[in-house]
Amino acid sequence: ASRFSVVEAGPPIEVFALTKSFTDDPFPNKVNLGVGAYRTDDCVPWVLPVVRKTEQQIANDLSLNHEYLPVLGLDSFTTAATKLLLGQDSKAISEGRATGVQTLSGTGALRVGAEFLARLLKYKTFYYSTPTWENHRLVFMNAGFTEPREYRYWNAAERCIDFDAYVADLKNAPENSVIILQACAHNPTGSDPTPEQWEKIADVMQERKLFPFFDSAYQGFASGDVEKDAFAVRYFEKRGFEFVCAQSFAKNFGLYNERVGNLTMVFNDKEVIAKVKSQVTLVIRGMYSNPPNHGARVVSTILNNPSLYEEWKGCIKTMADRIMSMRKGLRERLEAKGTPGTWEHITKQIGMFSYTGLNLRQVEHMVKEHHIYLLKSGRINMCGLTTKNIDYVANAIHDSITK
Please choose, from the candidates 230, 235, 234, 236, the residue with its C-alpha nearest in 3D space to the C-alpha of residue 212.
236
Angstrom distance (rounded) from CA 30 to CA 24: 10
Q: Are 102 and 289 in contact (CB under 8 A)?
A: no
Active site residue 169: no
CB of 145 to ligand PLP, least distance (A): 16
264 makes contact with ligand PLP (CB under 6 A): no
Q: Could you say which residues in the range 292-351 bind ligand PLP, by CB under 6 A?
A: none
Q: Which stretch binds ligand PLP (CB under 6 A): 61-69, 80-88, 102-110, 306-314?
A: 102-110
Identify the residue among 32, 79, 90, 107 touching ligand PLP (CB under 6 A): 107
**From the list 31, 33, 35, 36, which residue makes contact with ligand PLP (rule: CB under 6 A)?**
36
**Angle 202-210-78 from CA coordinates, rounded to 5°:** 80
Find the binder of ligand PLP among 90, 248, 262, 349 (CB under 6 A).
Answer: 248
Number of residues that bind ligand PLP (CB under 6 A): 13
When the beta carbons of 143 and 397 are compared against ligand PLP, the nearer one is 143
Burial class (CB in 10 A: 0-12, 13-18, 19+), 194: exposed
Using an 8 Å Cβ cutoff, are 222 and 228 in contact?
Answer: yes
Q: Which is nearer to ligand PLP, 248 or 377 (CB)?
A: 248
* Options 30, 169, 251, 312, the catalytic residue: 251
362 binds ligand PLP (CB under 6 A): no
301 contact partners, CB below 8 Å, separation of at least 6:
54, 57, 58, 308
Q: Which of 162, 192, 215, 229 is catalytic?
A: 215
Sign of CA pseudo-dihedral 98, 99, 105, 108: negative
Site for ligand PLP in 153-182 (CB under 6 A): 182
What are the φ/ψ torsions at residue 178 (nearest 5 degrees)? -95, 125
Total residue length of the chain: 403
Residue 150: CB atoms within 10 Å: 14
Whole-angstrom Cα distance, residue 23 to residue 16? 11
Least Å distance, CB 37 to ligand PLP, is 8
Q: Which is nearer to ligand PLP, 329 or 351 (CB)?
A: 351
What is the smallest separation between the CB atom of 30 and ligand PLP, expressed in angstroms? 22
What does the binding site for ligand PLP look like in residue numbers (CB under 6 A)?
36, 105-107, 133, 182, 187, 215, 217, 248, 250, 256, 261
- By annotation, the residues acting in catalysis are 133, 215, 251
